[in-house]
Amino acid sequence: MSCQHYSERLRTATWPTSVALALPLMAAVPGWAQDTDARAIPCVDGMAGVYPCDRVDLLGHLPRGQLGAADSVKLNDVWGWTDPWSGREYALVGRMDGTAFVDVTDPHDPSYLGSLPATVGSPITIWRDVKVFRNHAFVVAGGTEGHGMQVFDLTQLRDVTEPRDFAPSAVYTGIGSAINVAINAETGFAYLTGSTGGETCGGGLHMVDIRNPVDPVFAGCFADPETGRRGTGTSHDTQCVVYRGPDDDYQGREICVSSNETAISVADVTDRDDPVAVAHASYPVVAYAHQGWLTDDHRHFYMGDELDEATGWVDGQRTLVWDMTDLDEPILAAEHYGPDNDPEHNLYVSGNRLYLALKRSGLRVLDISDRARPVELGYFDTTPEDTSPAEMPPTGVRTLSGATRFDGAWSVYPFFASGNVLVSSRSEGLFVVHPSAGR
């Protein structure tokens, strides 16, 4: 599409929250679900309304201002909850000042239900992260003291008729702040990373027993001092699972694979009183090992380095593919380079699909049926009129010799049974999209 044609599409397109365009039927692509509601905006000729795209349709959109955010408040994380009683689907959207709740059961008409404000006295922050366990949301905030981990009973959303502010069901005060929270739903433990205040665990894994969600209890620390920029084992993010992969030595053990700024870290946390460092591994051109996700068979781990593109140290958007066949010796199996040079933020694996939030390039969906050779299936750009200046990293958090951008797509949630996918974009709002059935 020419620049002139693209500009004309932007000039003449409308920006509805709910849409009413017919979705043509197209030949199915294996593994991709298909939305046939006439209100979807299909991706046609490289555009879904005003949004550049390829084989990803727009179902619904709530701008930032309709998520309870003031003009100066941007978004960050997104996660999902499916009510087991009703089957309704909800988006949990992080803001700099709290967490917004949105009913996305009808993805073409998402409904803002209200928000959980940040802990009183806790300043606003770029970082907020939320996960779900036993119908409760667990919310942390990074780079701000006095927040702790909020716990919120999500069943309160069932009877909401007017948006309102909610109060937390409990607040865990064992930490002041944390960059991320990961939850192993099989064991009922939460893992807070990058903690400050209270028991920091060196910035590594601050482990919390949440089997009783409204009474979280500190359960131990793990940090590998061979990793992290300060040599304390700081983890930016982690995924913890009951291991069912190919390494017989660790079958049935609780294993955490963490992205630790300078390397990945593998830990056995089955005994939280005595967790064990299994392995750590670095890779060429490390800028900031940020976040990753295991495949369902626990054989591979996909990871993003948030700053390698921003520094100009690599040519193109890079995703690292780790072979975890032997947990004692992770092997970098491949480096996948995308068509853009935009930094990734969060990525998640669902089945044979890898979903990446690429900041100014939006959502990208890859086929990882061949684990070491991902193939792009489609994309959806949440920032079609990206003209804002670059932002510098917060002082003392990431030191770079130049600017890096913190705007655009922050995260993606691809785990709804409906096949609908959530994307949070910092200034643009919440998007509900759906991989479509053809070009």
- The secondary structure of residue 155, as a DSSP letter, is G
- The secondary structure of residue 348, as a DSSP letter, is E
Could you read off the pLDDT of 97-136 as tens digits, one per residue? 999 999 999 999 999 999 999 999 999 999 999 999 999 9
* Token pair for 223: 């940090």
- The pair phi, psi for residue 130, each rounded to 5°, is -140, 140
Domains of the chain: 61-435 (2.130.10.10)
The pLDDT value given to residue 308? 78
The pLDDT value given to residue 437? 55
Q: How confident is the model at residue 36 (pLDDT cuts 50, 70, 90)?
A: low
Euclidean distance between CA atoms 17 and 263, whole angstroms: 42
Euclidean distance between CA atoms 162 and 154, whole angstroms: 16
The pLDDT value given to residue 420? 97
- The secondary structure of residue 17, as a DSSP letter, is S
- The secondary structure of residue 369, as a DSSP letter, is S
Answer whether residue 17 shows pLDDT above 50: no
Average pLDDT of the chain is 88
**For 332-356, what is the mean pLDDT?**
92
Could you read off the pLDDT of 222-250 as tens digits, one per residue? 999 999 999 999 999 999 999 999 999 99
- The pair phi, psi for residue 37, each rounded to 5°, is -65, 135
Q: List the one residue out of 77, 28, 51 whose CA is nearest residue 430.
A: 77
Task: Report the Cα–Cα distance between both ends of the chain, in Å, rounded.
Answer: 14
H or E stretch covering 177 = strand 175-177
Q: Within a 10 A sphere around the Cβ of 272, how many other Cβ atoms?
A: 18
Q: How confident is the model at residue 307 (pLDDT cuts 50, 70, 90)?
A: confident
Could you read off the pLDDT of 68-106 as tens digits, one per residue? 999 999 999 999 999 999 999 999 999 999 999 999 999
Could you tell me how many residues make up the chain? 439
Residue given tokens 């002082």 in the structure block: 395
425 and 409 Cβ atoms separated by less than 8 Å: yes
Predicted TM-score (pTM) of this structure: 0.89
- Per-position b or e across 355-368, b if 16+ CB within 10 A of its CB: bbbbbbbbbbbbbb
The rounded radius of gyration (Å) of the Cα atoms in the chain is: 21
Q: List the one residue out of 212, 132, 223, 127 whose CA is nearest residue 177.
A: 127
Give the β-pairing of 111-117 and 164-165.
parallel
The pLDDT value given to residue 344? 86
Residue given tokens 């990753």 in the structure block: 292
Which residues are CB-contacts of 72 (< 8 A; sequence separation ≥ 6)? none
The pLDDT value given to residue 314? 80
% the chain with pLDDT above 90: 79
92 and 414 Cβ atoms separated by less than 8 Å: no
* Token pair for 425: 């974009």
Euclidean distance between CA atoms 226 and 398, whole angstroms: 19
83 and 132 Cβ atoms separated by less than 8 Å: no
344 and 356 Cβ atoms separated by less than 8 Å: yes
Order of all β-strands in the sheet with 170-172? 127-133, 136-142, 149-153, 170-172
The pLDDT value given to residue 21? 26
Euclidean distance between CA atoms 255 and 327, whole angstroms: 9
